[in-house]
Structures are given as C-alpha cells and as structure tokens.
Structure 1
Amino acid sequence: MNFLVSGNHETVLQFQTPLRERGELEWLVTFTEVLPRISDAGSGLVVIDANAPGYEGETSIKRLKQLNPAFKVLLVGLFPPQKELASLASGAMGCCSPLLDEEQVRRILAIVEEGGVWISNAALPQLLQRLRQRSEKVSPPAVQPPSSEVLSNLTQREREIAKMVAAGDSNKIIARKLNITDRTVKAHLTTVFQKLNVRDRLQLALFVSKTSQS
C-alpha cells in the first residue's frame, strides 16, 4: 500500500500515475490523515508534500517511522542542503524536487523502493564532508576500505564520471563538461554501478570517497 500526501494539484498529477503503476495508492490531503492509516498498513511507500497541512518537518518523519518503521518516506519540496540532510537523518529515504517529470519520478521511486537513498546534487558534497569528518573521529574499522585499484576495473571515461558524481555534479553538468549526451552519461553510470556493485549515486560517491583516501 502506498500513500500520497499533498493538497497541491500539480504534485498530485506528478506522482499519482507513477505511484499507481507500483501498486495500490491512497491520496490524502493532510499529514495527520496518514498516521492512523499507516500504523497497520504493513509496508509500502509514503510520498509527502513538504507543504502539506500538518507536516512539521523532521518531527513528523520521526513520528511516522515510530508508527511503522517498515514504511519508506519520500519528501517532495525545495529543500536547502542542511534541511535535506536533517530529513534524511530523521528517517526519510529521499527529498526530491516538485519540478521533475514523470520519468524522473519513476526512477526515484524505484531507487527508494529497493532500499536506496535519493539525495540531491546540492546536498551530496555536504553529506560526504560530514562522513569524512565523522570517520576521522572514530577508530579505523577492522575491514580495510576498498582499494583504489578497484577503480581500475573502470574505463577512463567511467572513472571520470564516477569522480564527477562524487563531486556532486548532475548528469546534465557531466554531459556538458565531457561534451556527451545525458543518455550516454546514464549508460556509463549503469555500467559503473554494475562493476562496483553499488546501487545508486550516493553509494557510488561514498565508494569513490573511500578509495581516494586509501
């Protein structure tokens, strides 16, 4: 069972079809309406418009996750990086723009449903910086980080793109810098994900960050 919480007509149109393609969907206008429904709804996905009545940011995310930890939360809105990272830390699986087309929405829904995390290119560098700072404060793990030699499995172009993703560049920016098409960038990233056994851009960025330190 999936839920869409929004009183905005454009947001509803943006997410309604991609969500219905993935199973049963209930549309609610306010955040408070979803709470009694989600507590015994098993597992699923709830997409919340950050401007929905009753939604109070991280407090609402934590409350929802307490009621049903199995539900994945995806937020829709325009978030500054600090707010986006706070939402992820509270239990959200992603924060996405209300300006995406349906195909982009489908891709994000697939990533979140599979357990991945969706993070914007603006927030990714800050997240990596926080993780580096945190790793410096704790003792090194028993397991060695991935060796930089692992990246040798990639072609030169694939390594370039992987490092650009780690730097927070979007597909469009990468395509412009390398003078290739967005479709070519996506094709390279698909291959990179498979070769490095990572699931999404966040895992790729973390992988590249760790190998650069080894």
Structure 2
Amino acid sequence: MNNQPNVLLIDDDPSVRESLTLLMETIGIPIQTYDSAEAFLKHYCPGEPGCLILDVNMPGMNGPELQLELAKRKIQLPIIFLTGYGDIPMTVKTIKAGAIDFMIKPIKGKLLIDRIRAIFQQDSLKGAEVNPNPLCYVRMSDLTPREREVMSMVVAGFTNKEIARQLSISHRTVEIHRARVMEKTGASNLLELAHLCEQSRSPSVADL
C-alpha cells in the first residue's frame, strides 16, 4: 500500500479536474481524479492516506451522500467540499458530519493548498475526526460577548432587523457588530462564518 498521502479529487467538471491536477502537480502533491462518487468508490483502496476534495453537486451520488456512505463503510478521510453555490444549513451539516472545510468555486489556489498542507501535517490523516484548526480558537477569542451573540444569530439565519429587535439595539449597531465579526474571524462570507462557528463549538472554546 502506498503510504504517501494523495489528493483525491472527485468532480464531474473536467475543467476543474484539469486545473486542480495542474495546480497539485506544480507543487509536487500527488493527485488522483474521479468524475463521480461511484468511480471513486469502485477504485479507492480503504486505508490509503489522503485528502478528499469533493464536489457537492454531481450526477448520481452527490458529495454529502458520499460523505455518509464513507462513514457507513468506516472509511475516514479528511474532506474539503467544493461547490459553485451553497447554503449555511448545508455547510453546518457537512461540518458536523466531519468535513474539514467547505469552499466556494472558483477556488483560490493558495488557500486550497494551505488547507491541504495543514491536513497532511496532522499526525493522523484518518480525517473525519481530525481536530479543528487551532487558528479557529484564536479568531473566536477576539470576539466580544455581544459579537458572539450577533454571530450566532447571523449564522442561524436572522436578519439584521430581527437581531436588532431581539437584542434591543439599533439596526446600525447590528451592522457594526456584524462587520467586526467578519473582520476578526477573517470570514469572507456567511458560509465561511458558519464553518468557523461550527468548529468553535467545543468546551475549550466555550471557556475562552
């Protein structure tokens, strides 16, 4: 069995497979590509180390369904989801199920490479249970109690007007808190914020 970790890319879009293959080859990271979840299941050898880069929406079995199938088969691989679009409930669901990250296409090459290298640096690559990134804790520790409160309500889907009414503060104050949350966490959109928020749900973070 090959013990060198590989990037295992599953995407039905040939242009995505081609561009990410070129990116990985440029930096010397081995990559195997598959055009469907079914093709991956047919050829993957359980126990082979690697990082799974998984498209969400595909013909046949989609990404989240493959994630569930791998769990049933007790195949533990760190998963980075890719999608052309997504929503917060989907992000939270996949992260709760063990995914490492949820990224929106088009992917920034450096960001994806950084994520993959961080995963490969983990002591174990049997990744659905890989520990959350410690950087997440640092980001969350910078938030004030009120900013945490606003963040939780934003991720839950409340509008600024609803948050202002429930917290008895002005709409403008909510906007300021929301902007500071995005700045401090480094999240560029609500999907990333939902991801960070879900990762932070542990006793160690709650005690910060």
| TM-score grouping bracket, smaller chain normalisation | 0.5 to 0.7
Counterpart in the other structure of 2:35: 29
Q: Distance in 2 between matches of 1:126 and 1:39?
A: 40
Q: Residues 168 and 14 from structure 1, CA distance in 2 versus in 1: closer, same or farther, beyond 3 angstroms?
A: farther
Deviations 1:121-145 (A, max 9, x none): xxxx459978xxxxxxxxxxxxxxx
Q: Could you list the runs of 5+ residues in structure 1 that have no partner in the other structure?
A: 120-124, 131-162, 173-200
The whole-number CA distance in structure 2 between the counterparts of 1:52 and 1:111 is: 27
Counterpart code for 1:102:
G
- Runs of 4+ aligned structure 1 residues displaced above 6 Å come to 127-130, 201-204
- The correspondence of residues 31-110 of structure 1 with structure 2, limited to 5 A, is 31-77=37-83, 78-110=85-117
Q: CA deviation at 1:64?
A: 1.7
Q: Corresponding residue for 2:20?
A: 15
**Partner Cα distance (1:37, 1:24) in 2:** 16
| Unaligned stretches of 5+ residues in structure 2 | 1-5, 123-129, 137-150, 157-179, 190-195
Question: Any conservation in 1 of the 2:11–2:35 contact (CA below 8 Å)?
Answer: yes
The 3 A distance-change label for structure 1 pair 2 and 171 is closer
Residue 83 of structure 1 deviates from its aligned partner by 0.5
What TM-score, normalized to structure 2?
Answer: 0.54
- Identify the residue that residue 160 of structure 1 maps to in structure 2: none
Moved more, 79-88 or 69-78: 69-78
The CA deviation at 1:52 is 2.6
User: Are positions 1:111 and 2:108 aligned together?
Assistant: no
> 1:37: how far off?
2.4
CA contact (8 A) 1:45 1:73 kept: yes
Percent identity reads 8
1:146-165 equivalences in 2 (<5 Å)? 164=181
Find out whether 1:210 has 2:195 as its counterpart.
no
Q: Matches of 1:5 and 1:16 in 2, distance apart?
A: 11
- Code of the residue aligned with 2:79 in structure 1: it is V
